[in-house]
Chain A
Amino acid sequence: MPERDKTDFSQFLGEYLADVKESFQIMSNALFALEKDYLLTEPLDELFREVHTLKSSSSMIGFSGVMQLAQVVEGFLDRLRKSEVRVYEESIDILFEAIAVFEKMAGEYAESGAVSFETEGRAGALRRGIARLESREMPAFQGIIALNKERHIEWLNPAAERMFGYTSDAARGRHVSMLIPEPNRGEVEQFLAEYVEKDERESISREVPGVSKDGSVFPMELSLSGMNLPERRLFLMIVREAGEFKVKAELTTAIEKIQTIRVGTDLLDNLFNLVGELIINKNRIDTLIAPIEKKELKSAIAVLNRTINALQENVSASRMVPVDEIFRRFPRLVRDLAKNAGKEVEFIIKGGDIELDKAMLDSLGEPIIHLLRNAVDHGIREDQKPGAIRLTAKRAENHILIEVEDNGRGIDIGHMKEIAVKRGFIAPDASPLMQDRDVLNLLFKPGFTSAEKVTDVSGRGVGLDVVKTVAGKLSGSANVVTKKDEGSRFTMSLPLTTAIVQTLLVGVGEHIFAIPTDIISETLGIKREEIKVVQDAQVLILRDEAIPYFELSEVLGMNHRTTSSESRIAVIIARGERLIGVGVDSMIDQKENIIKPLDPIAQQFRSFSGGTILGDGSVALMLDIPVLLELKIG
């Protein structure tokens, strides 16, 4: 009953248009979510569902252009959600473009019943873009060579082109023996000839050597099969490199797939916390058994400690992700920022494979965005065609450095001083005395902005203070170096991992405090008289250099008289290139400690970044040294 199938669905055009409108909104939202986190699967499922429905309804209503494009996009989404193809920044761009084209097409169909030439062109570009993205991830390992009856080459597929080094055009018409090394030509030629002559129905295969254009010989597995075209018969040589390298590559990919499983971050966080508890208990047991003279017990506990350390290392390692996870969002951001600012920027990312703790990486997005905004808005000049901004991650000893560098105008320190005075950040008479470094540090103060006018990009009074705040929260630091007309470099220096930190436990009176060891350059015993007073400030002479010095009890406002004790311990803190001495009564221990956040009330005391439980069950507060130094010396 074919006439029964001639349902005219066009009467539902209103519903169709309402559906697609809603659907495009859902798809856009899903893409925005995906853009924030490429690993999410829910937005991909949602996109797939929407495109799937779009495909069906477009087909029924007769909008074949939409249907065909939806089919391509649907296939692409399916491969994305099955993780056969990775999500790249371009994938998201392309999907946004797909929504735009769908919308355009649906509108044009509804209005005129056909798609404009221009939109058809956009759809074509979209299809090619998707094909490109897909092929990037699905390398066809199999080379295919089509031969005619005389064993002359008709074409090579891209894999075969790569394998043998000839383009399909260059190889066309030449005899297949050119792909076989001289000594084996006769034998292989005979094998091929027999197959072609007999016109076998079934395919056969054997291992033979192959030779590429540059003369390198490699083993390959060759399969032959026939293929009937309307006019003639072709023979397909399917070759697969049988050598170690390719096979191994394939094997490794296969094995990697099995070896990787996805684990929710909350599970990792739990594991991490449990390991933390374990370490606290381990430290407690260490303290408890110290006085006990039992060799077996001690050696058993030593083994236990080693296991716990290994466990901690492994759990920490499982939380490491390449910084690329957030870096790859930035090219688009920089492009958009530059466009809005009417500037040309070449954006370079380096060290995307450096790994960082996931929790840390999550909090780095915002400060990096601010630094990039700052670089585009204040660094790069309009006349630079193009200016360059470089985002780098690198390892420096036990730190990770995140740098945002531009080759723009540099920071005008004189101008900054004027603004700082105008806005009350520094007193007018203090201005001439201030060192460049201290002026630059004002950039990290809340509310400081040098923008003359408020732009869309930056200069809204929010900004770089977040860089320092976040770095501080992660037990790291931030600084900037700049040179007029050469550019500026902002650096965030971060410890490799948070939460479990190597700490030095120091005593002041009866109190014990923890200082993260990675900011300590050295510790030394000093005599009280080695501390001098210069212009009302205490300094310590360290290798002929006077460095600022203060007593920890003083900064913390503790009621503790240090004068009674003549010998002091100076903990030398490295702050960028600057050294600062902090005086304490004693050094107690150096330990790996799990740092727990303080409760919200205690967090008001900015001098402490957390607390840790000591072996004897008491709590030591972790000093937030950057904040302390800020309080003390600005």
Chain B
Amino acid sequence: MAHIVVVDDASFMRGSLKFIIESSGHEVVGTGKNGTEALELYKKLKPDLITLDILMKGIDGLAALKAIREYDPEAKVIMVTALGQEEKQRQAAELGAAGYIRKPFKQSEIIDEIEKALGEKVGTGDA
């Protein structure tokens, strides 16, 4: 069971993601609604994984991803994106995102993506 933080500016999305993640046996230890909160929560809760919505007001998902990966180069970050955001997705990949969840959500995709990210060793540290 992994500790996961969910960040999205819409409470509906936060609620839905939390529900799906928890019904697959993981624990959502915190939720945030913008990029600033994302970094704060990451520092405070040291989760195994964090999900970030790409489009958010103010500090968006990409900026938060960058900040979190700078703070912890091994951070596992899953980006929440939508169709038509291929360019942002590419940027996220460059910044070291561990995976993507596409909106509208499908439960199976979310779980697969999370399991995949948790299973992989991210970064260059030795096992």
Contacts and interface: CB of A to CB of B under 8 A. Distances in A.
A532 B67 CA distance: 82
Contact of B55 (A19, A49, A78): A49
Contacts of A53: 9-10, 13, 55
A15 B15 contact: yes
B57 A1 contact: no
B12 A12 contact: yes
A9 B16 contact: yes
Given A49-B56, A59-B104, 13 more contacts: A4-B107, A7-B20, A9-B12, A9-B16, A12-B15, A12-B16, A15-B11, A15-B12, A57-B12, A60-B12, A60-B16, A60-B103, A60-B105
Interface residues of B, number: 23
11 contacts: A7-B23, A15-B11, A15-B12, A15-B14, A49-B55, A52-B55, A52-B82, A57-B12, A57-B13, A60-B12, A60-B16
Contacts of A78: 84
Interface of A: 1-2, 4-7, 9, 11-12, 15-16, 18-19, 23, 46, 49, 52-53, 55-57, 59-61, 78
Interface string B81-110: 010100000000000000000011111100
Contacts of A55: 82
Interface of B: 9-16, 19-20, 23, 55-57, 82, 84, 103-108, 111
A5 B55 contact: no
A19 B111 contact: no
A5 B106 contact: yes
A4 B9 contact: no
B108 A57 contact: no
Q: Which 9 A-B pairs have the closest CB atoms?
A: A56-B103, A59-B104, A15-B12, A16-B12, A15-B11, A12-B15, A57-B12, A60-B104, A15-B15
Contacts of B55: 49, 52-53
Nearest to B11: A15
B104 A56 contact: yes
A2 B19 CA distance: 18
Contacts of A57: 10, 12-13, 16, 104
Contacts of B56: 49
A60 B111 CA distance: 16
Nearest to A59: B104
A11 B18 CA distance: 13
B16 A7 contact: yes
A336 B123 CA distance: 61
B111 A4 contact: yes
A9 B16 CA distance: 7
A19 B104 contact: no
A12 B104 CA distance: 14
Nearest to B80: A56
